[in-house]
Amino acid sequence: EVQLVESGGGLVQPGGSLKLSCAASGFTLSDYWMSWVRQAPGKGLEWVAKINDDGSEKYYVDSVKGRFTISRDNAKNSLYLQMNSLRVEDTALYYCARGGKSYFASWGQGTLVTVSS
Amino acid sequence: QSALTQPASVSGSPGQSITISCTGTSSDVGSSNLVSWYQQHPGKAPKVMIYETTQRPSGVSNRFSGSKSGNTASLTISGLQAEDEADYYCCSFAGGSTLVFGGGTKLTVL
């Protein structure tokens, strides 16, 4: 069974940093593109970033370019999102998702990031 | 990277069919057969219902179907059931290998 478990969320002040992790199990991580998708409270889904199977290709939504970095460690079955210069508008539930080349096949339950002073 | 346009809400009675539209541009929906649809119940993670515009994942009811015409993709749910009540989001491959979601549609089963 595919499982994706996010961690690392929390309360951070504007301008601060946070690193999210996603532990993958039930499949071979190195075979898949992986993505982060976020959902602000009461709002819709927004794709944030994706990374290819070996980490050589990375893509971001314009609003996070230069601030967020997606990475992976296939040996540790883990996906990461380093978030710097956080803004109030980055407040959201962040989902780890398997896929991103064309669609998201599996999703975690999300980790909540709150940016507030 | 502007969000795709979906109706805010749709409704239907049990047994009826409904269609949710998803309108983009020639740079995303119009130039790609990589449109997907997601169902999200309150407090739950999204679940893929349709991928690559018309394909249904294993385990998803054949009451769900997808199509596309020009810059507009559509999700049709036939034989509406109470458990179909949820939020639905479309997503398309867009320029620069990015992805873009629609704003979401709340489906109410009357």
Say yes or no: A98 contacts chain B, CB-CB below 8 A: no
- Give the single-character DSSP code of B5: B
pLDDT in tens, B36-95: 999 999 999 999 999 999 999 999 999 999 999 999 999 999 999 999 999 999 999 988
Whole-Å CA distances, A1 to A4, A23, A25, A64, B72: 10, 13, 8, 32, 34
Say yes or no: B57 contacts chain A, CB-CB below 8 A: yes
Q: What is the pLDDT of residue A102?
A: 86
pLDDT classification of A99: cutoffs 50, 70, 90: very high
Interface test with A, best of B20, B99, B101, B106 (most A CBs within 10 A): B99
Whole-Å CA distances, B79 to B12, B15, B109: 10, 4, 11
Minimum-distance CB partner of A47 among B40, B47, B99: B99
pLDDT in tens, B22-33: 999 999 999 989
A112 to chain B, closest Cα gap in Å:
13
